[in-house]
Amino acid sequence: MNTYNVEIAEILKDNNILELSEKMEARNLTSEETQSIEVIDTFIREIGVSGHSLENDKLISELIVKQVEPLLFNPDSSILSQIFDMGTIGEFDENLFTGVPKNTIKVYDAVRGGNVPKSFVDPTLFTIQQVKLQAETEINYSDLRRNGFKSIAKLTELTREALEQEFFWRLFAGVGTQMDALSGDQNIDATSSLTLALADTFSRYMSDMSEGNPIAVGLSKYTDLFKRLDGYEPYISDSMKTELNRLGKLMTYDGTTLVSVPTAKKTATGKNLMPDKRIFGIAGKIGECTMRGALRSYETYDNNAEKITLKFTGYDFDYVVYYLDKIAQIRFA
């Protein structure tokens, strides 16, 4: 390993590019952090001047992956960890999900000494949904010469955000697909508005199935409807009114925590961060999600075009939803 790579590797043991960038913007860097940024910045700008060399081989993609991968493959801070059991396995490991068997033992009237039909509890083997995501981009040498460290910090942030957003959307889209196949109290059909009666049906199901902390998650344009329900005003406490005036949204409804996903925020492909026209109610852990393998990067220099092509792949995950009875949804027309 060349001297520069060794030095940068040492810097990244104790520093994170995203954190350094945030501290730099806030002008809150220590002298050691300032030196670290200067080392990385100098080398990045040199790539913009001289292009590919043995010293910088795969350096940019490795810089990004080292910062992004821990955040992507340990999503404990995400709301998803509240509703899925998260885990990791090797790229080629076998992944078999089995949920707790549903109680299907039937009870009959009987006479003493008689027999009734047998019933059984069968452990259910669930179908695993597999998702393999990949992103590719490029960066011009001129960007490296102009912005140095900042160009890599920004690209790191955008890569992480793009993969996380797609991950979030895919899981909730999968939940929605399975819910649409069901009928009964779990699927609550609304028009363009939410009524108090429909909201009560929804919260009652959440309360009945709850393991302690039910949540309702949806785009903000739908979760905001709870704060405008006709007839609910008398049930809003003074503290909730203060919170509503301060934040502009209701944080809970009838024991269910309301989680708003920004409607205005879109993925790079123009999608909302979760499926439109519905609010999901989650009454506990509904399944499992396993990150598979590790994020891989490929870096190709084109000195003639003065640009670097970056490919990020290996962002694979398996998931299964096996407790559909813990989910309810309000569907809007």
pLDDT of res. 247? 80
Please write the tens of the pLDDT for every residue from 116-141: 999 887 666 677 899 999 999 999 99
pLDDT at 280: 96
User: What is the Cα–Cα distance from 139 to 253, expressed in whole angstroms?
Assistant: 47
Amino acid at 329: Q
Return the bridge partners of 312, or none: 135, 297
- Nearest-angstrom CA–CA distance, 95 and 319: 10
Q: Enter the tokens of residue 102.
A: 């549903």
296/135 Cα distance (integer angstroms):
11
* Predicted confidence band of residue 250 (pLDDT cuts 50, 70, 90): confident
Chain centroid to Cα 141, Å, comes to: 32
Burial class (CB in 10 A: 0-12, 13-18, 19+), 291: buried
Our CA angle for 90, 91, 96, nearest 5°, is: 70
Q: Note every long-range contact of 303-307, with CB atoms under 8 Å and residues 24 or more positions apart, other chains counting.
A: 303/51, 303/52, 306/51, 306/140, 306/141, 306/142, 307/138, 307/139, 307/140, 307/141
Lowest mean pLDDT segment, chosen from 38-52, 251-265, 319-333: 38-52
Cα separation, 20 vs 40, whole angstroms:
11
The two three-digit tokens of residue 248, written as one number: 């502009």
What pLDDT, in 10s, does the model give residues 145-202?
A: 999 888 988 888 898 889 989 999 999 999 999 898 887 788 999 887 899 999 999 9
**Cα distance between residue 183 and residue 198, in whole Å:** 15
- Tokens representing 156 are 């790191």
User: Cα dihedral angle (74, 75, 77, 78), rounded to 10 degrees?
Assistant: 180
pLDDT of residue 48 exceeding 50:
yes
The pLDDT-based confidence of 1 (bands split at 50, 70, 90) is very low
Q: Quote the CA–CA distance of 125 and 11 in Å, as a whole number.
A: 47
- Could you report how far apart the first and last alpha carbons of the chain are, in Å? 60
pLDDT at 244: 82
Residue ranges per structural domain of the chain: 77-141+162-333
How many other CB atoms sit within 10 Å of the CB of residue 235?
11
Least confident of 53-57, 97-101, 164-168, 209-213: 53-57
At residue 130, the 3 state secondary structure works out as strand
Identify the pLDDT of residue 115.
Answer: 92
- Going by pLDDT thresholds of 50, 70 and 90, the confidence category of residue 275 is very high
Residue 73 CB neighbours (<10 A)? 16
pLDDT at 238 over 80: yes
| 77 pLDDT higher than 60 | no
CB 328 within 8 A of CB 155: no
Question: Rounded CA gap, 146 and 215, in Å?
Answer: 46
> Nearest to residue 79, comparing CAs of 322, 254, 230, 285?
285
Whether the pLDDT of residue 54 is over 70: the answer is no
Confidence class for position 206, pLDDT limits 50, 70, 90: very high
DSSP state, residue 121:
-
